[in-house]
Amino acid sequence: MSGHFVPTQHVDVVRALGMLAEGPLVVLTGAGLSTDSGIPDYRGPQSVPRQPMTFSEFVATPEARRHYWARSHLGWRRMGVAAPNAGHRALAAIDPDLLITQNVDGLHEAAGSRNVVALHGRVSEVICLGCREIFARTLVQEWLEALNPGWAEAHADVEMRPDGDVDLDETADFVVPPCPSCGGALKPHVVFFGENVEKPIVQRCFDAVDALTTPDTQGRRGALLVVGSSLTVMSGLRFARRAARNGTDLVVVNRGATRADEIATAKLETGASEFLTALADVRNR
């Protein structure tokens, strides 16, 4: 069955759970897993199309960085208090060989997952583009609050968007602090559109996917499970393609089409949290 796409309407959840019930497992998660925690996604059924700020735009002008930070400051006040949902908790119980996440919200770690690769970084950290010093986001939030008293309260009704962004255009009066160490520009320690994931991180994920082809001590080959991602960007899609090329079973669970549908062993259009909860029950019997 490896590498053979089965049309969605013919895929049975029980069959998919059986494919993943035993043996090595690598899991790749996307924004669809965090929607149950109140964090919008980019491309889900209820998402509103938007163009996120690119890295080149962010570094181009102080005005662009002010615009970004004004919105992110408001978004963090909500995203920063989001709690892990049943899907996150189920994955922590499953404890896969490697958990690769495209999400920057840190909810996998908060749920107790151990072997996590945050492919796109974590919004809980801020890096200086000058000296590369890293600061806790909570500390930077304190600086932003002090420099912009009453800003958050005045914009409390703005709509939340993916990755801690909000729907807000008027940001000209927002004040952004420089790096306290060198005066450089501060940026959330996440991979923006137009940036590349660091090569050692990518290689660690490739190695984990490749290891699925080697039988474990009981002779079982592994599988790659993709949950809550449309795999629109190459940073995640390349691992699905690698698994398919290796002949590894590839199970995709996502509401809506993905770029891996035609190479998946099985595709399910069902809730991420529901499927992961069921999988945790099966693997931990």
**8 Å CB contact between 151 and 69:** no
pLDDT digit string (tens) for 2-49? Answer: 444 444 444 578 889 999 999 999 999 999 999 999 887 654 444 444
Would you list which residues are annotated within the binding site?
Answer: 128, 131, 179, 182
Reported pTM:
0.87
DSSP of 58-84, one letter per residue?
HHH-HHHHHHHHHHHHHHHHHHTT---
Binding site for Zn(2+), by residue number, is 128, 131, 179, 182
Instruction: State residue 45's pLDDT score.
Output: 45
Catalytic residue, chosen from 67, 120, 155, 189, is: 120
**Residue located via tokens 């940026």:** 187
Dihedral pair phi/psi, residue 273, rounded to 5°: -65, -40
Give per-residue pLDDT as tens, 56-81: 999 999 999 999 998 888 888 777 78
Q: Name the CATH superfamily for 8-283.
A: TPP-binding domain (3.40.50.1220)
List of the chain residues with pLDDT < 70? 1-11, 41-51, 159-167, 169
- Distance (Å, rounded) from C-alpha 256 to C-alpha 268? 9
Using only C-alpha atoms, what is the Rg of the chain? 20
Distance CA 93, CA 116 (A): 13
- Cβ–Cβ under 8 Å, residues 284 and 276: no
Tell me if residue 120 is catalytic: yes
